[in-house]
Amino acid sequence: MFGIGLNNLIKIGFRVSDHILKQQEIERSRTASERARLQAEASREKANEENSRYRRTQLEDEIARTSVAVECPNCGATGNRIRRNSTGFCQFCGTAIQISGNGKVFIADPIEKERALAAEEYRQKSGDMSNV
């Protein structure tokens, strides 16, 4: 009739079935690989975020250790934190405040004020918050 015997049809059916099973296995393998890649990427992102948070916390701790809370000698405002041996600015009136190594507070002389302004401008432009 058709020239293909029943045995040949069965053999062809098995081959097609094997081929389909192999293709499904390949697809499962690809899916598992992609899922593993995505999980690894998510883990890397989480680790980077945690490292960033840790570095930020270390910087905040460093600032807290090396800075002092000062009262502005000009307006009397509190809440200013300035590092020792540096010049900062009052958050309220903008007065340049200089802190000595032993924590003594005084209004900065004009040259120190200009240096502090230039340093603050540089920090703002570069995004560097290490001397806050």
pLDDT at 20 over 80: yes
Residue 3 phi/psi, 5° resolution? 90, -5
What is the domain partition of the chain in residue ranges?
1-65, 71-126
CATH annotation of 71-126: 2.20.28
What is the value of pTM for the model shown? 0.42
Q: What is the mean pLDDT of residues 21-28?
A: 91
**Greater model confidence, 106 or 46:** 46
Q: Decide: 107 and 96 in contact? Cβ < 8 Å.
A: yes
Neighbours of 59 (CB within 10 A): 13
- Amino acid letter, residue 97: I
- pLDDT for 4: 73
Tell me what the pLDDT averaged over the chain comes to: 83
Selection from 96, 124, 127, 90 nearest residue 110 by Cα: 96
Among residues of the chain, what percentage have pLDDT more than 90?
Answer: 12
